[in-house]
């Protein structure tokens, strides 16, 4: 009760908002006005997400069209194998992959790929996983590509064999090698063997490539690019920028390998049975993909920049405050704004700013960019999960926090 009241007060104190933005706020009634009762009743904080599509922050928000598709899907019984087959065929048609199906997330996609390259579709072997005795059980990976998602390979029983250079790879490949894994992520930049070369080497040895591309859209082209490059199995997350259900993903690639991966997949009773995906998620994922492909991506980018520019403008004139767009050296090309200030002069540390934003009402999640790879300075703001009007709230809150601090100091 008091929470929503103070929110209202906060926005009514609209003097702090840039004129244009407050008009938008009045006309469209931004999301923060809605009662978050379903979560509030549970005592769970909701927040404005300026961080990104992080799973622990519940990934993404599904557009109404995806919600509606899931809503509709939930009304009927269907045969799940038939649904997976048809949804997969449609995904393949849309992306140019030979085959595809919907998984319970990108991590699940890696697990399924590992099943495909170890047990394949041999039922006796499939039944035995994660015991890989007598099967190929080594997966080659560049040392820098180790992430916490290694578990998706290891849960099948596979061993990860570290390499750094093409020479290492040549030495590492042996009759136990099941596949080559490659991770595309801004967390693991700086690999020595590039994807195209990596694929070439793997194929020279007649071995498949498993690609973790969980967060690699945008750009939208990546949905086709990696399979075109020859990656045999590519795992995408559905609950990030495609804005599908949080616990959905796509595994796409060569038919031979996708068929083997699907043989292991839920609801078949093999190891990945534990990672279930329902009819709602399958239909929701497909709806999200279709929507994403139809989107005007250039316009979306312009909107992202516009939102960040509004924040930067809103902060102009504050003592020692400096904003900059930071260069982007990963594959996903999302713009990001860094907000910096003289922490000593203002008596306000970056850590305190992050905390104050989180603890305020509405709660705002933003990044401490010193923790980035590579590290950067200041407070990081990502625009792509901001709902209309939220950028103005962020600017107003940052301003408020700085001013409070300045008056105390």
Partner 1 sequence: MNRFRTSWDRRKFLLAAGLASTVGSLRPGNVYGAYLADRHGESYRALGVRPLINAAGTFTTLTGSVMAPEVRDAMAEASRYFVPLIDLQLAVGERIAKMIGVEAAMVSCGAASSITLATAACITQGDPDKVRRIPDTTGMKNEVIMVKSHRMGFDHAARAAGGKIIEVETPEELENAINEKTAMLFFVHILESRGKVNRNHFIAAGKRHNVPVFNDAAAELPPATSLSAIVGEGFDLVGFSGGKGMRGPQASGLLIGRKELIAAAHKNNNPHSDTIGRGMKVGKEEIMGLLKAVEIYHKRDHDHDQVQWRGFMERIAAMVSDVPSIDTEVYIPGPGGHPLPYLRVKWDERKVGLTYAECFKQLQDGEPRIDVNNKNTGLELASYNLFPGEERIVGMRMREILLAAAKRA
Q: Is 333 helix (H, G, I), strand (E, B) or coil?
A: coil
Q: What is the contact mask toward partner 1 in residues 210 to 239, using x (rule: CB under 8 A)?
A: -----------------------------x
**124 is an interface residue for partner 1 by CB under 8 A:** no
* Minimum separation from the CB atom of position 329 to partner 1 (A): 23
* Residue among 4, 7, 16, 31 that touches partner 1 (CB under 8 A): 31
* Residue among 4, 14, 46, 219 that touches partner 1 (CB under 8 A): 46
Pairing of strands 363-365, 177-183: unpaired
* Minimum separation from the CB atom of position 48 to partner 1 (A): 7
Report CA-CA distances (Å) from 257 to 101, 186, 234, 294, 399.
Answer: 12, 27, 10, 28, 53
**DSSP secondary structure of 259-315:** HHHHHHSTTSSSGGGGS---HHHHHHHHHHHHHHHHS-HHHHHHHHHHHHHHHHHHT
Separation between Cα atoms, residue 118 and residue 177, nearest integer Å: 9
Pairing of strands 379-381, 363-365: unpaired
Pairing of strands 249-253, 233-237: antiparallel
* Residue among 169, 202, 275, 308 that touches partner 1 (CB under 8 A): 275
User: Quick check: 365 and 340 in contact, CB under 8 A?
Assistant: no
Token pair for 369: 């960019």
* Minimum separation from the CB atom of position 72 to partner 1 (A): 5
* Segment interacting with partner 1 (CB under 8 A) among 168-176, 261-269, 299-307, 348-356: 261-269
- Dihedral pair phi/psi, residue 211, rounded to 5°: -115, 125
* Minimum separation from the CB atom of position 75 to partner 1 (A): 5
**370 is an interface residue for partner 1 by CB under 8 A:** no
* Minimum separation from the CB atom of position 250 to partner 1 (A): 14
Question: Of the two residues 272 and 314, which places its CB atom closer to partner 1 in the complex?
Answer: 272
Q: What is the contact mask toward partner 1 in residues 378 to 397, using x (rule: CB under 8 A)?
A: -------x------------
* Segment interacting with partner 1 (CB under 8 A) among 103-111, 298-306, 308-316, 371-379: 103-111
Pairing of strands 233-237, 209-212: parallel
Question: Of the two residues 177 and 248, which places its CB atom closer to partner 1 in the complex?
Answer: 248
* Minimum separation from the CB atom of position 110 to partner 1 (A): 7
Q: Is 169 helix (H, G, I), strand (E, B) or coil?
A: helix
* Residue among 47, 341, 376, 382 that touches partner 1 (CB under 8 A): 47
Q: What is the dihedral of CA 147, 148, 151, 152, to 10 degrees?
A: -70
**368 is an interface residue for partner 1 by CB under 8 A:** no
* Minimum separation from the CB atom of position 57 to partner 1 (A): 6
* Residue among 2, 133, 148, 408 that touches partner 1 (CB under 8 A): 148
**312 is an interface residue for partner 1 by CB under 8 A:** no
**269 is an interface residue for partner 1 by CB under 8 A:** yes
User: Quick check: 81 and 121 in contact, CB under 8 A?
Assistant: no
Report CA-CA distances (Å) from 161 to 110, 139, 172, 177, 180.
Answer: 16, 6, 7, 9, 9
Separation between Cα atoms, residue 322 and residue 312, nearest integer Å: 9
Question: Of the two residues 253 and 272, which places its CB atom closer to partner 1 in the complex?
Answer: 272
The residue among 50, 68, 35, 2 whose CA lies nearest residue 336 is: 50
**280 is an interface residue for partner 1 by CB under 8 A:** yes
**285 is an interface residue for partner 1 by CB under 8 A:** no
* Residue among 4, 14, 24, 45 that touches partner 1 (CB under 8 A): 45
């Amino acid at each position: 009760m008091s929470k929503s009241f103070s929110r209202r007060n906060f926005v009514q104190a609209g003097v702090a908002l840039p004129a244009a933005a407050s008009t938008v706020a009045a006309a469209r009634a931004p999301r923060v006005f809605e009662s978050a009762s379903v979560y509030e009743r549970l005592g769970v904080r909701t927040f404005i997400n300026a961080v990104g599509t992080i799973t622990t922050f519940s990934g993404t928000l599904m557009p109404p069209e995806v919600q509606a598709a899931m809503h509709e899907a939930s009304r009927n019984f269907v045969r799940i194998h038939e649904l997976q087959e048809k949804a997969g065929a449609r995904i393949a048609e849309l992306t140019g992959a030979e085959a595809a199906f919907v998984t319970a997330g990108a991590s699940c996609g890696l697990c399924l790929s590992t099943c495909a390259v170890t047990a394949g579709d041999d039922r006796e072997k499939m039944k035995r996983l994660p015991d890989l005795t007598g099967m190929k059980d080594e997966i080659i990976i560049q040392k820098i590509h180790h992430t916490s998602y290694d578990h998706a390979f290891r849960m099948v029983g596979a061993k990860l064999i570290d390499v750094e250079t093409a020479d290492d790879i040549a030495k590492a490949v042996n009759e136990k090698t099941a596949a080559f894994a490659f991770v595309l992520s801004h967390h693991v930049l700086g690999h020595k063997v590039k994807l195209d070369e990596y694929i070439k080497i793997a194929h020279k040895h007649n071995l498949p490539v498993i690609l973790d591309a969980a967060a690699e859209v945008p750009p939208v082209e990546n949905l086709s690019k990696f399979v075109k490059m020859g990656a045999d199995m590519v795992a995408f997350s559905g609950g990030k920028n495609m804005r599908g259900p949080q616990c959905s993903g796509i595994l796409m690639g060569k038919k031979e390998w996708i068929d083997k991966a699907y043989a292991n997949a839920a609801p078949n009773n093999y190891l990945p049975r534990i990672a279930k995906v329902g009819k709602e998620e399958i239909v929701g994922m497909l709806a999200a993909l279709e929507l994403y492909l139809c989107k005007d991506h250039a316009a979306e980018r312009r909107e992202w920049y516009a939102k960040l520019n509004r924040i930067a403008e809103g902060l102009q004139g504050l003592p020692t405050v400096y904003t900059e767009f930071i260069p982007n050296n990963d594959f996903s090309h999302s713009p990001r704004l860094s907000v910096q200030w003289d922490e000593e002069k203002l008596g306000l540390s970056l850590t305190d700013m992050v905390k104050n934003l989180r603890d305020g009402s509405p709660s705002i999640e933003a990044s401490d960019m010193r923790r980035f790879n590579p590290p950067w300075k200041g407070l990081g703001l990502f625009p792509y999960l901001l709902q209309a009007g939220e950028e103005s709230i962020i600017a107003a809150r940052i301003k408020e926090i700085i001013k409070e601090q300045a008056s105390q100091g």
